[in-house]
Chains A and B, each alone.
Chain A
Amino acid sequence: MNPSDPITGTHIHYFLVCPRKCWLSLHHLHQEADSDLVELGRLTHERTFARQQMREVDVDGFLRIDFTSEGIVHEIKHGQSEEQAHRMQLAYYLYQLRLRGVQTHGVLHYPNQRRKERVELTPELEAELQQVIQQVEALRQQPLPPQVPRPMRICRSCAYEEFCWSDDEEVEQ
């Protein structure tokens, strides 16, 4: 692991969904994404992308951001269950852009629910984001991944499921 690897929007998202996933991702222990769910997410992304005539921009090699011509940041999400994590991921992009002198706002798209949400980097949201960034930095320094005592509901659809739950011993009741 390179300690200066920048935090990405995905790390922020993962942290709010499952800190263990974030730790594993920070240590490059990515899992093969061959589940149908991931595929579904990719399709949703591609369709919306085409409709909105968006461009994907790679900022400094670690932020992959989708823009429209008006300079508004868009995030397209499949599934609504992780809204707070999505919002914070988008806030992180807005924050990183502001550090580079770009002031804009963002839109979260939930095409499958036909719903959109405007996201502004308000002082409140930014304060929250700063806390998350600090927590992710602290997490990176931990020598071991955070322990999750037993499978959670979200593990079912997580690409890391087989990694996390590989042991086949008796589960303590």
Chain B
Amino acid sequence: MKKSLYLTSSGTLSRDQNTLLLELETGEKRYFPIEQIGDIHCFGEASLNKRLLEYLTQQGVPVHFYNYYEYYLGSYYPREHNSSGFLTLKQAEHYLDESKRLDLARRFVRGALQNLQQVLRYYAHREKPVHPMIEGIAQVEAQLDNAASVETLMQLEGQAREMYYSAFDPVLQNPDFAFESRSRRPPANRLNALISFGNSLMYTLALSEIYRTHLDPRIGFLHATNYRRFSLNLDVAEVFKPVLVDRTVLTLVGLRQIQPEHFGEELGGVYLNDEGRKRFIQAWEERLQSTFQHRKLKRNVSYRTAVRLDLYKIEKHLIGEKPYEPFRAYW
């Protein structure tokens, strides 16, 4: 199983024979065997050269960059090693054909809404007063079949998310982590900072997994292709955000593993500081590596693998073998 390498401090990354060498500003050197690295996430200042990029291309390792405020900046997405002209044509066809695109977009939203409800059900079982929100999302879900455009689907998803977020305060009941409302750029409070950071990690996780399949990340169905470099990862992220990001956030706050001291305020926004970021990444990785029993493979698979399995299901949808049924959490 390949690992993600998260660089939270600043340093220089280079190739040293057949390993990856990280030299920190303190002068400390760390070596990583390349075969074990799936992708690299740079949060601090990173210096790297073309020789390293050539090596990463050869080894098929994408690199994701974030700025100081934890916003996603962009990715180095090495030349595809795994492409299938046949599948790329099918993917484009499903984007260009309006009814095919709508069908797929609806599947992503349905998957997202089902997982939103699943997360809330988890807290309902723990005596949290969130039944009205589950009801509300179910009602939105019932309208999906009538949505005649991708825009309408997006709006419905927005409505469902709003109801879902209104459950965060009753779930957490923690004045230090009040939700108030969703704010993005910049996040206005701690909970929003956590959600934004988690979402960035989710988008890059989906992108790294797409890299390992035959799918083209530039052709999304729910998220418009035109204005972004990558969009398919955003579609897939919708399905997994509730299970991976939101559960990580709610657990970290619920168990008080993240505290107010792990944040800083800057330029009118609230951001995780170094220690907060480290704690989040650790919890995130634990969640990705945790496993569940897969009923067809008849073995335990990790949530990270579950993301890739969904990409395979999307491939099978595109080649016309089987309609895509998004991942559903069964706790």
Contact = CB atoms under 8 A, between A and B. Distances in A.
A30 interface: yes
B263 interface: no
A162 B309 contact: yes
B296 interface: yes
Nearest to B316: A166
A139 to B, nearest CB: 14
Contacts of A169: 295-296, 325
B85 A168 contact: no
Nearest to B292: A168
Contacts of B312: 162-163, 166
Interface stretch (A88-96, A103-111, A143-151): A143-151
A162 B297 contact: yes
Interface string B306-330: 1011101101100111100101100
Contact of A171 (B295, B310, B315, B319): B295
Contacts of B295: 168-171
B84 A167 contact: no
B107 to A, nearest CB: 13
B83 A28 contact: yes
Given A144-B320, A162-B312, A163-B315, A1 B86 contact: yes
A72 to B, nearest CB: 34
B82 to A, nearest CB: 7
Contact of A168 (B2, B294, B315, B320): B294
B289 interface: no
B87 A29 contact: yes
Given A143-B320, A168-B327, A162 B308 contact: yes
A32 interface: yes
Contacts of A144: 319-321
Contacts of A34: 2
Nearest to B322: A167
A2 B309 CA distance: 27
A38 to B, nearest CB: 13
A147 B321 CA distance: 9
A33 to B, nearest CB: 11
Contacts, number: 69
A145 B319 contact: yes
Contact of A145 (B85, B212, B297, B321): B321
Contacts of B161: none
Interface string A123-166: 00000000000000000000111010001000000000111011
Nearest to B35: A34
Interface in A40-93: none
B296 A171 contact: yes
A29 B311 CA distance: 13
A30 to B, nearest CB: 7
Contacts of B57: none
Contact of A1 (B85, B298, B313, B315): B85
A29 B315 CA distance: 9
Nearest to A163: B312
Nearest to A147: B321
Nearest to A160: B312
A151 B298 contact: yes
B309 A168 contact: yes
Nearest to A161: B297
A37 to B, nearest CB: 15
B305 interface: yes
Given A27-B87, A167-B325, A168-B327, A162 B305 contact: yes
Contact of A27 (B2, B84, B294, B298): B84
A28 B316 CA distance: 14
A104 B321 CA distance: 42
Contacts of B309: 162, 166, 168
Nearest to A151: B296
Contact of B86 (A27, A147, A165, A166): A27
B121 interface: no
Given A28-B87, A144-B321, A171-B295, 14 more contacts: A1-B85, A29-B214, A32-B82, A34-B2, A143-B320, A151-B297, A161-B297, A162-B312, A165-B297, A166-B310, A167-B313, A168-B296, A168-B327, A169-B325
12 contacts: A27-B86, A28-B87, A147-B321, A151-B296, A151-B297, A161-B297, A165-B296, A165-B297, A166-B312, A167-B325, A168-B296, A169-B325
User: Nearest 6 CB-CB pairs, A to B?
Assistant: A28-B84, A1-B86, A166-B309, A166-B312, A165-B296, A27-B86
Interface of B: 2, 82-87, 212, 214, 294-298, 305-306, 308-310, 312-313, 315-316, 319-322, 325, 327-328
